[in-house]
Structure 1
Amino acid sequence: MKKNYNMQITFKLLTNEEAHIIIPYLDIMNSQKVPMDLLKARFEEMLSQNYEAFGIYDKDELVGCFGLWHMTRHYCGKSLEPDHVYIEDAYRSKGIGAQLFSWIEDYGKEKGVTAVELNTYVENFPSHKFYYNQGFIARGYHFLKKI
């Protein structure tokens, strides 16, 4: 893997007022084609729950985003769930994802978290390989039924 030593990657917790800057990335990942007004409304609601929005920056330039859900699960204790991880194409395959998940683990440890769990789409094979390489194991299937 080639490293770009000019990059200065940081992960920044966004305030609720700043968080709207990642909505274009959420729209790119919007495979369900949720209308923009509904996507924005849902995101606003997420910000009022156990959720934090983060920007991924190269110096001062926004190059990606992710969110973290905070929860306690009966089977693993206090956990973080990364959500909607997105890194711009030009920044992929440069080690940022590994750096991000190392950062998430450190952040979680500071918050007393005992596990990190996540969902990924079944057809997203590159992400599966990445998460296995980060030490994650597949423990089940995520089912969804719209009502």
Structure 2
Amino acid sequence: MSFTFKIIEKEAITSVVSLVEKLNDFKISLEVLNKRFAEMITQNYECAGIYDGEKLIGVCGLWFCTRHYSGRSMEADHVFIDETYRGKGLGKQFFEWIYNYAQEKKCDAVELNTYVSNHESHKFYYNEGFKILGFHFLKKL
């Protein structure tokens, strides 16, 4: 199988919503997700996709910022690969592409958050060399 990794064009950002919705533990409506992605793409946000031919099968949001403890960083967000493509090393290939892209963007680090209940992702990120630095807290207003 031959896959393509690339940044999704801003105009096509809503194409990721159907995949991101599968991560949606908060049960956010498709309407709200579409609106939020349209707003996110106007900020320091890009989204990478994995394509099998023309079919989008994986996504990873990429937030860019500078942090006092890590320097210029890329935060990987809402990483998702279609269930039928898992277990084939595609996640490792995708993250290699992401690391290279971060270096092209002059980043010093890649960071991420993952849901506490997503145990499979924890093992993957440990194997990729990520370290837990703290807890991510959220308070809805």
Q: Which residue of 1 aligns with 2:88?
A: 94
Offset at residue 24 of structure 1 (A): 0.6
From 28, 32, 40, the counterpart of 2:34: 40
CA RMSD of aligned residues (A): 1.0
Contact 1:19 1:54 in 2 (8 A): no
Q: What are the equivalent positions in structure 2 for 1:1-147 lying under 5 Å apart?
A: 7-147=1-141
Q: Which residue of 2 aligns with 1:4?
A: none
State how far apart, in whole Å, the 1-side matches of 2:6 and 2:100 are.
Answer: 14
State how far apart, in whole Å, the 2-side matches of 1:73 and 1:92 are.
Answer: 32
- Quick one: which amino acid aligns to residue 73 of structure 1? R
State how far apart, in whole Å, the 2-side matches of 1:103 and 1:47 are.
Answer: 20
Label 1:135 to 1:43 Cα distance change in 2 as closer, same or farther (>3 A): same
State how far apart, in whole Å, the 2-side matches of 1:109 and 1:53 are.
Answer: 16
Contact 2:13 2:37 in 1 (8 A): no
Contact 2:49 2:58 in 1 (8 A): yes
State how far apart, in whole Å, the 2-side matches of 1:27 and 1:117 are.
Answer: 22
Q: Which residue of 2 aligns with 1:3?
A: none
State how far apart, in whole Å, the 1-side matches of 2:53 and 2:19 are.
Answer: 18
Partner deviation per Cα, 1:28-56 (whole Å, 9 max, x = no partner): 21110112211111111101000002221
Q: 1:17 is paired with a residue of what secondary structure?
A: helix
Q: 2:61 is paired with a residue of what secondary structure?
A: strand
State how far apart, in whole Å, the 1-side matches of 2:8 and 2:30 are.
Answer: 20
Q: Point out the more displaced range, 94-103 or 54-63.
A: 54-63
Give structure 1 regions of 4+ aligned residues with deviation exceeding 3 angstroms. Answer: none
Offset at residue 64 of structure 1 (A): 1.4
Give the alignment's TM-score, normalised by structure 2: 0.95
Offset at residue 61 of structure 1 (A): 2.2
Q: 2:115 is paired with a residue of what secondary structure?
A: coil
Offset at residue 60 of structure 1 (A): 2.7
Looking at CA atoms only, which structure, 1 or 2, has the larger radius of gyration? 1
**Structure 2, unpaired ranges of 5+:** none
